[in-house]
């Protein structure tokens, strides 16, 4: 990693100088300096500009731009502009264009409109990446490589079909094994040759009615995309072993298994686009997920909007201080950058109304330019104290793409299944108590944690089950819920009663699962004893799903309030080894989860850094035994943080603070012991 | 019919042993015996298992299973597994795969994914059916043949196009006749050659804008499907002339004209899947429709779910007693079976969450297994007293597929047209008064009935009109409504004023039909005289459609309450011959229909078997002059039945009952004179 | 123009005698005479009837019909029946059939189902038009030529693709220019050859994500359709230079740029189909738009429904007097005709339930037939006083198709953008004050107007900007709104701050535009001074969009009420030359617009013809210095008009009126000085 990356919070973003002449470029560079910008990403969408015909390269244009940037002392992530191939490439080699889920050969247009398995695409993309590496690897301002852009297009062409069959052969070895693992006997899907396999599409409805096939295609497309990334990345890596190579993950992170993608990347790059009405806890959770992708390493927010977006239904301009608080939330959760899409607004095209640091007006006296400049000045002050700083958590939450896909591929028990929003319910309870959490893979080491939450771990690999059992046995506290442990890694349900491999550790079995109508409610009645001891309320509301469970050793803490299973258990704890495992058989209201988290805090001796009043978000990053506290007031009514006896310095103002500090909406403190 | 079928209520259902090994099979057979199961249907989806390559058969697996079943004394319906062809067949002969309504050639996948007109499909299906017949027709446990599964896929391939043109040539003889009957002059749809005819699809929007063409395609596809069924059925029939051959009708009965389909089947098989919030009157109506398909003969419920479904939006588990009351409702309305999908739950695939007698847990101590076992014990007691018992009705209701299709193919007068739900309104009024009704075809003999309801008989064949006129003339009471008699069998509107051929018998003509917005209401003001005499209320609400009618002999019983046609007639009766014909020109609220049915009961001397309080359903089946009364309490608040002086035995408990009997929700009585 | 057209309000409509025999034709002609019908349009959909095989013509059938019409003294618009080609043509020459936006080759069916660029279609259509011209141009009853029917189908076939590339080459000259004007550098859409251009479709999502390409295709398809019209029209024009040649514009006027279409037509023909719940102001606005298409010339309402439609969700029958008031509204706004679809109802086909002068019943004693007859008698009385009479307006409103398309092609700032409904808000304020308005093109001469409203003139050509500046400079009053002047004719946004070229005349620049959620509101606080002077209220509600603007000379009249930009200006006026320009930066509630219009009336000395109470619509048409006042009571509660001292004659009754005249709902007065 270069000194520049080691010492600076990256501040700047996507810049597309092919849309403007040299005059504008010069002005823009002036403006960048005014605003404290230190890095731009380019040329993300300039393949044709650089290779106007096959194997004819015209790098002079880019040379001059990089010269200017180097002169100005600006750094840059060089992008391979392979997120949108040239029209000439699509025209010359139609194999480059994908076939969609409806079986339609695409025509040239939009972006990320190529088949990730196309040989020709890969050949030309690698050739261009190679040329870029060759020409620019010694450049002064080069800080890293940004490959393509927001991958995520699935293809169903014959080439993909062939590769999919090989992928399956590789995964399952024999047809017999595949037939067994997918239970193809159901609906006579039995295969007698790999050649018979068709991708799950609208042409066979298997995208809806064949969950194992769909899951496989999701995995295959992820692997194909990772290969497509590596095809370029390996060349860049060879040329500059010390610089990071990565891509930017799009907003819809569900499409590809980012855990698999990240295996072949040096650092996580993510595009953070909260909707105007998203709660701050949701973007906080996404940030934590990003930090989890490389096991807690810091990551880059590659894009966020300095003002309105254009593709929301209602594109609100950012409120005063909003872009700043969003920027700090990223830093607070593990990002080492504040990068924007985009530095200058496009005059035309799909995103011409998307906000930019410099708008169509070209002016630097706009509200947003001034806010960005203010932020730039602040970030300079933070210096390198944050870069690479770690987040140390005592709580982990398991989040898994295969589980996500499988849960939502399912037909039944309810159409309202939304894994992320289920996780968010648990996350919220932690977040509002300022308990930080690591998002973990099913393969992560769990040993350092006091508490593991594993909501809706429907698809439970045997190894993961073993880890969870060991974790609990060794004194950990496990939280599991309805729909845990039903299926194996091929989405085949277990025989012998749910929660399958976790039946012992949870001390119960689940007989059947009732789905509630959207406006239907049940309730959790807390046992007298537990209530007296732990300060829970008498009754909490619940909805969504209600599992009928039978304790086999677990102690009952709560009963169903209504319906024919009223009085049956729905909240249990099982002492197991040195630890314990809670089970929540229905979806509780937030107050229940808040009480549960407070119970865990007490029992497991976990605490927030400081007490707060109102919705005040606190996180801590640590580097060289130095703690940095990020405090963001997310409460429209304002709030306060009580530092007690501690005396901390606000690194943004230099002010020394202690005791109770009042905060207005969107106020940010960055506190340290310096 | 075999002795087994003559003497036993069929109890069991679909079983798919190709999804499990022999060990599970042995356990399952034990469980079946425990639960009183006497029949399973298999192997519904095992084509590839039985014919893994073209013309190579591997029946040994099935032989062994049947051996075990025979040993255990279980019976079975043998299924031709042709509801889902093998992948090898689709791969080898793409003609087997359908072309969809969007013109897309399908790929292999899902089920019922073949062209019913494919020669190759028919060849291979018949070959397999022939082999099964040859090999198993002498089997001890063989109770009948179940062909394929839930037919209903439309195809638009070139082969179907060719056959459609021949079908049209056959129906209309000449192009001239077709042009006239379809009024092709409209929008210049005039045909100069049969070769010009294209199916109504998304490629020409004729699936929306060409009602006569669409109706023809619906009829053609029904006939093609019936041929496809017969292709197998005739071989099975030859092999075992004494055993029933049939298929199972899917939930969406609208797709195919089941009256046409049933002509070539021995018995009706139907899959009964009420949604969790369907009223019991709706499934009651479907049962009665099923009984009507073969003119009152008893039928088989081939599938119902022993617990939750998986393809509902919200898949509720069945409440205690619910599966029992659903089972008895079938028997009560004419079914001779209680068969479930499915005996054991699939480990994977689209329906892995669908309820089963034996769930993934494999346990027999589940709530549902115990309920099923209890039911099994009861059904044994009922013995043969019900099998083939008849339902004798004094009221008939006409229900016709062509009319259904045509009404809903129509553009105008309202997008809310839903024939089944319109019928259900009238049905409800009968149901809640415990008046049983036969569903009749447009070709049925009407002579035995006192009352015929013919709601929305928009498409009125001349023969049917004649029957209705004769029926009324001979003393019957006819109920007709708005949108009666507008069109002939080709959906061509009559000239000379609606209700066309029924104008005389109804004694009026209809000038125009107003469509109301969903939240708009009009009302029916009952005439002073009629009100005094018959005890109707003064005003009833109405909505949906309001026809402006002009009596030509009919007596006015009610007037419109609102709008510019306030004061104009909307409820009339016409004395005709020895009978009378009521006309209801707008859609009334349920209270009106209740009053109407009570009027008919009085006037036509029709009565419920016993008085009830609350929603208590009573039906009667009769065999050898022995009546069996089925009493089901459908009222969540409970209800009662008043047996008065009669003394009846509850066949389930042996208890003797008379006078007023209290019932809790879902209580069932099966009463007889024994 | 023939004497017939000069002296008669056209009264009649579409008639399709190919659907009936000669007997019905004779009856119908009798009925037409009874109802005062003077013109029918035919044979709109009879291509196959006239040319049953390629180049074989059978005109005898039409000869006889025209003989009968001539005998009866009826006139007719002869239609080229090219709105629906024969099935034999589609079968013989598949190139005639379009490819849809999903890339699917269409099959024969529906109507307007041909490629407007198909050579074969154009060849056969021209051949038929030529034959009709040759045979019938001397016919006594011939009043004009109606070409095809409701054009508007887009095609994406390879032939269209080729022509589109030529069209682009023609428009832009070079690729370089196109690349610049479309800003193709965005998302690497840079073109290196015209051959690389693909139409914007679902196959590349460019129909959603490439606004400049989509706009070009909309323009190209309009030009192609205009060519397709001309292909026939030029032959008809040659044959009968004195008779009008035109087509009928469909309800969805957005599809084609009607201003471009009308350049090649003699007169506007329009199909007026208000939905049952449309406010009368909306159809009034459409009428005024139609009058604007040929710069104020009178036009023909070619179709309206004499009773219910069939393709509305809820097809209400027309209320008593409704068809009459709709008919007069057309005459009031500049139409010289009252023509219906249709004279006789089709027995079958998609529109068999659409209302007709003569319904399926064939009777002439129906409510509707009697209303039509009454109307016929009245129209005869009006004689030629109206034909060609002009509407003289002091207020103009700019309405532009490119702007409409571009606004709604945009991604952002809000999905609720609906240009027509935005215009309608301004229109309503004029309408309810009985101020008539001319709809103007961006190229129109503005010099005769006192006030120009240019709501949401997002796409502002330089010439239009110049005209608006000059207009204001010369003393005119300009009203502009949020989203004005953002983009040039290729939808490329201006640099240097919105409203771009109108920045000086409006005296402000706009920094950013906030989108409000549907239920969100801001408000306009009127300055104390302006309020005192002009009688505005203190606060008005606003919603939708809020622009943050900075006055550069403009005087602030109103401030935002809420949000962080509370207190910032949102309503300004700029004195410019001898005129002034108002700017409204947010969408105000109707009361604000009413106050604004009343202010303009006072300041610019514009007034309604007469004061009214209630919703009473008044318009004036003028001919030979003779004014005709059309007064329609659109108020369900009734209203009145105060004629004051003037004495006017009601041309419908001959009555003389003055002073205050009470009106019931749907009353119509046609007043003159005679």
Q: Is the pLDDT of residue A535 over 90?
A: no
- From the list C186, C205, C491, the residue facing A45 with the nearest CB is C186
Of the pLDDT bands very low, low, confident and very high (cuts 50, 70, 90), residue A2 is: confident
**pLDDT tops 90 at residue B319:** yes
Q: Do C516 and A314 touch (CB under 8 A)?
A: yes
Interface membership of A25 toward B (CB under 8 Å): no
- Considering only CB atoms, B109 lies closest to which of A204, A487, A496, namely A204
Q: Which residue of B has its CA nearest to A202?
A: B106
Predicted local confidence at residue A547, as pLDDT: 98
Flag whether pLDDT at A13 surpasses 90: yes
pLDDT score at A630: 98
Q: Residue C383: its pLDDT value, please?
A: 78
Q: Cα dihedral sign for A202, A205, A206, A211?
A: positive
Tell me how far apart the alpha carbons of residues A588 and A539 are, in angstroms, rounded to a whole number.
10
Question: Do the chains contact at C192 and A48, CB–CB below 8 Å?
Answer: yes
Which residues have C-beta within 8 Å of that of residue A415, sequence separation ≥ 6? B313, B314
- How distant, in Å, are the alpha carbons of A427, C79, C119 from that of A421? 9, 60, 56
Cβ of residue B543 closer than 8 Å to a chain C Cβ: no
- Note every long-range contact of A379-384, with CB atoms under 8 Å and residues 24 or more positions apart, other chains counting: A379/A9, A379/A11, A379/A36, A379/A338, A380/A36, A381/A651, A381/A652, A382/A9, A382/A331, A382/A651, A382/A652, A382/A670, A383/A7, A383/A8, A384/A6, A384/A7, A384/A8
Among A88, A363, A368, beta carbon nearest to C192? A88
B304 pLDDT above the threshold of 90:
yes
pLDDT per position as a tens digit, A420-450: 999 999 999 999 999 999 999 999 999 999 9
B42 vs B21: CA distance, rounded Å: 15
Among all chains, which residue has been given the structure tokens 């009364």? B629
Cα–Cα distances in angstroms (integers) from residue B451 to residues A608, B148, B327, B396, B587, in the given order: 77, 38, 29, 6, 20
- pLDDT for C70 equals 98
Classify A358 as helix, strand or coil. Answer: strand
pLDDT at site B385: 86
pLDDT of amino acid C384: 84
The burial class, CB within 10 Å (0-12 / 13-18 / 19+), for A518 is: exposed
- A315 with C102: Cβ contact below 8 A: no
Q: How far apart are CA A315 and CA A354, in angstroms?
A: 9
Q: Report which of A419, A547, A412 is spatially closest to residue B349, judged by C-alpha positions.
A: A412
Q: Please give, rounded to a whole number of angstroms, the shortest distance from the CA of B560 to a CA of chain A.
A: 38
- Residue A93 has a pLDDT of 98
- How many whole angstroms separate alpha carbon A273 and alpha carbon A257? 19
Cα–Cα distance list, C596 to A177, B591, C165, C536, C540 (Å): 77, 54, 47, 8, 12
Q: Which residue from C18, C315, C362 is facing B515, i.e. has the nearest CB?
A: C315
The string of DSSP codes covering B630-653 is EEEE--TT-EEEE-TT--EEETTT
State mean pLDDT over A197-213.
Answer: 98
Q: Is the dihedral of CA C432, C438, C441, C445 positive or negative?
A: negative
A543 phi and psi angles, rounded to 5 deg: -155, -165
Closest CB to C315: pick one of B198, B413, B487. Answer: B413
Three-state SS at A301: strand
- Read off the pLDDT of each residue in A118-137 and give the average, rounded to a whole number: 98
Across residues C212-217, what is the average pLDDT? 98
ipTM of the complex: 0.97
Backbone φ and ψ of C22, nearest 5°: -65, -30
C413 preceded by cis ω (within 30°)? yes
DSSP letter assigned to residue C517: P
**Average pLDDT of the residues of chain A:** 97
The model's pLDDT over B500-547, given as tens digits with 9 standing for 90+, comes to 999 999 999 999 999 999 999 999 999 999 999 998 999 999 999 999
The model's pLDDT over C21-68, given as tens digits with 9 standing for 90+, comes to: 999 999 999 999 999 999 999 999 999 999 999 999 999 999 999 999
| B567 CB within 8 Å of a chain A CB | no
Question: What are the beta bridge partners of residue C271?
Answer: C303
Identify each DSSP E strand in C457-507 by its residue range. 477-481
pLDDT in tens, A344-385: 999 999 999 999 999 999 999 999 999 999 999 999 999 788
How far apart are the C-alpha atoms of C400 and C423, rounded to whole Å?
11
Distance, in Å, from the CA atom of C96 to the CA atom of C155, rounded to the nearest integer, reads 10
**Please, which residues have CB within 8 angstroms of residue A581's CB and are 6 or more apart in sequence?**
A472, A477, A478, A479, A480, A502, A505, A506, A507, A554, A573, A574
pLDDT at position C577 is 98
Q: Considering only alpha carbons, which residue of chain C is nearest residue A104?
A: C203
On the 0-12 / 13-18 / 19+ scale of CB atoms within 10 A, B21 is: exposed
For residue A193 the two structure tokens come to 């040759």
Mean pLDDT in residue range C558-567: 98
- Map residue B91 onto helix, strand or coil: helix
CA distances from A117 to A148, A160, C564 (A): 15, 6, 50
Q: pLDDT at position B384, please?
A: 84
Residue B674 pLDDT greater than 80, yes or no:
no
Burial class (CB in 10 A: 0-12, 13-18, 19+), B533: exposed
For residue C438, the model assigns a pLDDT of 98
pLDDT, one tens digit per residue, over B210-223 is 999 999 999 999 99
Residues of C with catalytic roles: 150, 303
- Chain C residues close to A48, C-beta within 8 Å: 188, 190, 192
Q: Which of A335, A150, A330, A351 is nearest to A251 (CA)?
A: A150
Question: What mean pLDDT, rounded, does chain B reach?
Answer: 97
CB-CB contact of B329 with B632 (8 Å):
yes
Percent of chain C at pLDDT above 90? Answer: 98
Phi/psi class of residue C87: alpha, beta or left (left: φ > 0; alpha: ψ in -120 to 50)?
alpha
- CA geometry: angle at B528 spanning B522 and B532, to 5°? 120
Note which residues in 83-142 of chain C have CB less than 8 A from chain B: 83-88, 90-91, 104-111, 113
Give chains near B: 3+ CB pairs under 8 A.
A, C
The pLDDT value given to residue B29: 98
How far apart, in whole angstroms, are the C-alpha atoms of residue A439 and residue A621?
Answer: 16
Q: Please compute the mean of the pLDDT values over residues A87-116 and round it to a whole number.
A: 98
Task: Calculate the average pLDDT of chain C.
Answer: 97
pLDDT by residue (tens digit) across B464-504?
999 999 999 999 999 999 999 999 999 999 999 999 999 99
Strand partners, A358: A344
- Neighbour-count burial of B61, counting CB atoms closer than 10 A to its CB (0-12 exposed, 13-18 middle, 19+ buried): middle
Q: Facing residues of C144 across strands?
A: C77
- Run of H or E including C249: strand C248-249
According to DSSP, residue A99 is labeled B
Q: Does C552 touch chain A (CB under 8 A)?
A: no
Which of B52, B88, B109, B344 has the most A C-beta neighbours within 10 Å, making it the best mutation to test the interface with A? B109
- In chain A, whose CA is at the least distance from the CA of C517? A314
- The CA distance from A104 to B104, in Å, is 9
Beta-carbon contacts of residue C302 (< 8 Å; ≥ 6 apart): C13, C41, C146, C248, C269, C270, C271, C337, C339
User: Is the pLDDT score of A646 beyond 90?
Assistant: yes
Mean pLDDT of B381-393: 92
pLDDT at site A444: 98
Report whether pLDDT(B2) > 90: no
By the 8 A CB rule, do C101 and C202 touch? yes
pTM of the model: 0.97
Q: β-strand B612-613 against B639-642: which pairing, if any?
A: antiparallel
pLDDT digits (tens, 9 = 90+) for A282-316: 999 999 999 999 999 999 999 999 999 999 999 99
Q: What does the buried/exposed string (b/e) look like for B253-285 if buried means 16 or more CB atoms within 10 Å of the residue's CB?
A: bbbbbbbebbebbbbbbbbbbbebeeebbbbbb
Cβ–Cβ under 8 Å, residues B385 and B672: yes
Chain A residues closer than 8 Å to C564 by CB: 319-320
Given an 8 Å threshold on Cβ–Cβ distance, is B313 in contact with A414? yes
Binned at pLDDT 50, 70 and 90, residue C674 comes out as confident
- Which pLDDT belongs to residue B487? 98
Contacts for B610 with CB less than 8 Å, ≥ 6 apart: B434, B618, B629, B641, B642, B643, B644, B646
Question: d(Cα A584, Cα A562) in Å, to the nearest integer?
Answer: 16
| Number of A–C residue contacts, CB under 8 Å | 188
Span B29-67, pLDDT tens digits: 999 999 999 999 999 999 999 999 999 999 999 999 999
Q: Say what the pLDDT of residue A232 is.
A: 98
Tell me: the pLDDT tens digits for C444-453? 999 999 999 9
**Is there a contact between C287 and C329 (Cβ–Cβ < 8 Å)?**
yes
The reported pLDDT for the residue numbered C93 is 98
pLDDT tops 90 at residue C141? yes
Percent of chain B's residues with pLDDT above 90: 98
Nearest to A635 by CA among A457, A432, A401: A432
- Percent of chain A, pLDDT > 70? 100
Section C333-352 average pLDDT: 98
Report d(CA A529, CA A534) in Å as an integer.
9
**Can you list the positions of beta strands (E) in B213-308?**
245-246, 248-249, 269-271, 300-303
Structure confidence at residue B383 as a pLDDT band (50, 70, 90): confident
| Distance of alpha carbon B222 from the chain centroid | 15
* Residue C137, preceding peptide bond in cis (omega within 30° of 0): no
pLDDT in tens, C254-272: 999 999 999 899 999 999 9
What was the pLDDT predicted at A383? 78
- A130, with CB counted inside 10 A (0-12, 13-18, 19+), is middle
Q: Determine the residue among C176, C187, C193 to mutate to test chain A binding: the one whose Cβ has the most chain A Cβ atoms within 10 Å.
A: C187
Contact (CB<8Å) A182/B48: no
Q: Which of A225, A229, A291, A242 is nearest to A79 (CA)?
A: A229
Question: Given pLDDT bands bounded at 50, 70 and 90, which one contains residue C385?
Answer: confident
Q: Which residues of A471-500 are buried (b: 16+ CB within 10 A; e: fewer)?
A: bbeeebbbbbbbbbbbbbbbbbbbeebbbb
CA R_g for chain C: 26
A674 confidence band (pLDDT: 50, 70, 90):
confident
Q: What is the mean pLDDT of residues C467-474?
A: 98
Query: What pLDDT is recorded for position B535?
Result: 84
- Half-sphere exposure at residue B11, Cβ-oriented, CA atoms within 13 angstroms: 28
Out of A51, A230, A303, A394, which one is annotated catalytic?
Answer: A303
Cα–Cα distance for residue pair A305/A33, rounded to 1 Å: 19
């Amino acid at each position: 990693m270069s000194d520049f990356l080691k010492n600076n919070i990256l501040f700047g973003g996507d810049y597309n100088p092919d849309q403007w002449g040299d005059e504008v470029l010069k002005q823009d560079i002036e403006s960048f300096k005014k605003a404290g910008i230190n890095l731009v990403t380019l040329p993300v969408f300039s393949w044709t500009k650089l290779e106007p015909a096959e194997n004819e390269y015209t790098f002079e244009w880019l040379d001059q731009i990089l010269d200017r940037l180097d002169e100005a002392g600006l750094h840059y992530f060089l992008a391979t502009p392979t997120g949108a191939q040239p029209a000439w490439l699509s025209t010359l080699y139609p194999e480059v264009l994908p076939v969609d889920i409806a079986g339609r050969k695409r025509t040239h247009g939009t972006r990320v409109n190529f088949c990730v398995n196309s040989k020709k695409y890969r050949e030309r993309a690698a050739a261009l990446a190679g040329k870029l590496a060759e020409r620019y690897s010694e450049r002064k301002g080069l800080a890293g490589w940004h490959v393509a852009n927001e991958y995520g297009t699935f293809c169903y062409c014959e080439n993909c079909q062939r590769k999919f069959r090989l992928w399956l052969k590789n995964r399952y070895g024999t047809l017999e094994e595949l037939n067994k693992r997918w239970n193809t006997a159901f609906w006579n899907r039995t295969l007698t040759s790999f050649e018979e396999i068709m991708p799950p599409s609208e042409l066979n409805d298997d995208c809806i009615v064949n969950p194992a096939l769909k899951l496989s295609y999701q995995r295959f497309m992820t692997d194909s995309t990772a290969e497509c990334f590596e095809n370029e990345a390996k060349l860049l890596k060879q040329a500059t072993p010390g610089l990071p190579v990565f891509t930017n993950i799009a907003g819809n992170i569900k499409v590809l298994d980012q855990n698999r993608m990240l295996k072949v990347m040096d650092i996580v790059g993510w595009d953070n686009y909260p909707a105007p009405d998203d709660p701050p806890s949701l973007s906080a959770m996404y940030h934590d997920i990003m930090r989890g992708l490389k096991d807690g390493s810091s990551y880059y927010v590659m894009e966020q909007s300095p003002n309105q977006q254009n593709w929301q239904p209602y594109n609100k301009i950012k409120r005063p201080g909003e872009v700043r608080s969003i920027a700090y939330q990223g830093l607070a959760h593990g990002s080492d950058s504040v990068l924007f899409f985009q530095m200058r607004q496009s005059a035309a095209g799909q995103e011409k109304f998307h906000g930019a640091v410099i708008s169509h007006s070209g002016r630097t006296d706009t509200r947003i330019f001034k806010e960005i400049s203010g932020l730039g000045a602040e970030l300079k002050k933070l210096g390198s104290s944050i870069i690479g700083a770690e987040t140390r958590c005592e709580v982990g939450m398991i989040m898994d793409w295969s589980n996500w896909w499988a849960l939502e591929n399912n037909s039944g028990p309810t159409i309202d299944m939304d894994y992320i929003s289920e996780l968010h319910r648990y996350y919220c309870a932690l977040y509002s108590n300022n308990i930080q959490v690591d998002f973990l893979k099913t393969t992560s080491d769990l040993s350092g944690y006091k508490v593991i939450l594993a909501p809706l771990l429907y698809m439970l690999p045997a190894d993961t089950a073993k880890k969870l059992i060991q974790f609990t046995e060794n004194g950990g506290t496990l939280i599991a819920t309805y729909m845990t442990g039903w299926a194996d890694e091929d989405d085949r349900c277990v025989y012998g009663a749910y929660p399958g491999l976790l039946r012992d550790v949870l001390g119960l079995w689940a007989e059947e699962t009732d789905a509630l109508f959207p406006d239907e409610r049940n309730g959790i009645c807390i046992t007298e004893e537990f209530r007296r001891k732990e300060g829970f309320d008498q009754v909490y509301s619940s909805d969504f799903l209600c599992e009928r469970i039978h304790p086999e050793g677990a102690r009952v803490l709560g009963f169903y309030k209504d319906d024919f299973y009223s009085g049956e258990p729905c909240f249990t704890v099982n002492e197991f080894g040195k630890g314990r495992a809670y089970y929540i058989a229905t979806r509780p209201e937030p107050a229940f989860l808040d009480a549960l988290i407070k119970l865990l805090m007490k029992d497991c001796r976990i605490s927030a850094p400081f007490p707060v009043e109102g919705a005040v978000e606190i996180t801590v990053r640590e580097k060289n035994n130095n703690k940095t506290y990020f405090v963001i007031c997310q409460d429209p009514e304002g709030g306060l943080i009580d530092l007690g006896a501690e005396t901390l310095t606000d690194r943004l103002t230099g002010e020394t603070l202690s005791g109770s500090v009042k905060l207005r909406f969107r106020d940010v403190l960055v506190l340290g012991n310096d």
